[in-house]
């Protein structure tokens, strides 16, 4: 069974991730672990607290998680509760490793508020070393709908890579489960004339020709991918060119404003630090929840990394 980790700190901002964990678990048949980390920093005088204080605080934390768990219990979604001691970022990562978590669902902000993200807050620290998939819920993406109807408009940007196309399979599962509209956008940079060539007209013509060739190939690729999507889904496709100076995922999210954006780590310009750009994207468009498929996690569960093509999503089982 797939495993989801939902860290909470008791704040309203952190709790905005709860409906998203519910929706994900319900769609991919996953077990949810609710985590509350009790940190010495929560005490006014961290040097003076006693073991009695610890036990009381841990009991309060477990009681809080039990109240949250009622949402999952009534929907027959399997769950367990974890209360850990220590610093939040380190405890979240250790718990994720110990449990073999496939998906981390968390808000970009918690008790530390907006100024803590992405420069050093708990979410940023966790993502800097996390290798599995993650669902980031921004500070302005508090859901106005019930979990079962949370996602009505899903957006998947692709760039022709195997990793980005694997996001389509996960998006299809969510769309089928929630009867959501699915929009797939092939994204490419606008071909530009190198500055050394100045205003050379032949170079400009070549750039226009390259853009036309890219659009034709992208439309062909979209037709090929859409043949794998169940016919009963509400589906839209588009080809979009973006300026090199603008992050492609940010531009797509702003233009289409979906309820959930599903993408791969490769689409967030992954280089050496996991989710380095993902944290910046989440900060730039914090009204759009973002599901990023990492090299490990739910992406592996639905895509064969050794296969040149993503699995056929027409037979996806969401039961």
pLDDT tens for 62-81 read 999 999 999 899 999 999 99
Domains and CATH numbers, the chain: 2-315 (3.40.50.12370)
CA dist., res. 220 & res. 200, Å (int):
31
Mean pLDDT of the chain: 80
Helix ranges (H only) for 29-150 are 51-74, 88-99, 122-127
C-alpha dihedral (319, 290, 265, 21), degrees to nearest 10 = -40
Q: Which stretch, 54-63, 209-218, 265-274, 309-318, has highest mean pLDDT?
A: 209-218
Core vs surface per residue 140-169: b (16+ CB within 10 A) or e = ebebeeebeebbebbbbbbbeeebbbbbbb
pTM above 0.75, yes or no: yes
Core vs surface per residue 250-272: b (16+ CB within 10 A) or e = bbbbeebebbbbbbbbbbbebee
Q: How is residue 113 annotated by DSSP?
A: -
Whether the per-residue pLDDT at 92 is higher than 80: the answer is: yes
Q: What angle do CA 319, 105, 188 make, to 5 degrees?
A: 90
């Amino acid at each position: 069974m797939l495993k989801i980790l939902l860290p909470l700190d008791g704040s309203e901002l952190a709790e905005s991730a709860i409906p998203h964990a519910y929706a994900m678990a319900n769609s991919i048949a996953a077990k949810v672990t609710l985590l509350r980390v009790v940190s010495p920093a929560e005490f006014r005088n961290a040097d003076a607290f006693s073991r009695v204080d610890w036990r009381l605080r841990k009991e309060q934390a477990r009681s809080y998680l039990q109240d949250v768990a009622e949402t999952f219990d009534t929907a027959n979604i399997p769950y367990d509760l974890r209360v850990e001691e220590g610093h939040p970022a380190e405890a979240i990562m250790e718990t994720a490793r110990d449990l073999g978590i496939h998906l981390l669902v968390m808000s970009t902000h918690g008790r530390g508020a907006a100024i803590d993200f992405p420069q050093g807050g708990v979410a940023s620290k966790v993502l800097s070393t996390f290798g599995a998939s993650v669902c980031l819920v921004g500070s302005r993406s508090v859901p106005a709908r019930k979990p079962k109807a949370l996602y009505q408009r899903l957006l998947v940007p692709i760039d022709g890579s195997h990793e980005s196309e694997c996001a389509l399979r996960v998006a299809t599962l969510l769309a089928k489960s929630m009867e959501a509209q699915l929009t797939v956008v092939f994204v490419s940079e606008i071909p530009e004339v190198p500055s050394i060539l100045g205003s050379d007209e032949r170079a400009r013509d070549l750039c226009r020709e390259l853009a036309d060739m890219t659009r034709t190939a992208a439309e062909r690729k979209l037709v090929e991918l859409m043949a794998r999507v169940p016919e009963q889904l509400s589906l839209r496709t588009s080809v979009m060119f973006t300026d090199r100076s603008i992050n492609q995922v940010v531009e797509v999210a702003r233009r289409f404003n979906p309820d959930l954006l599903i993408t791969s780590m490769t689409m967030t310009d992954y280089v050496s630090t996991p989710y380095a750009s993902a944290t910046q994207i989440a900060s730039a468009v914090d009204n759009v929840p973002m599901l990023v498929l990492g090299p490990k996690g739910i992406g592996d569960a639905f895509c064969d990394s050794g296969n040149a093509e993503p699995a056929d999503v027409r037979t996806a089982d969401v039961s």
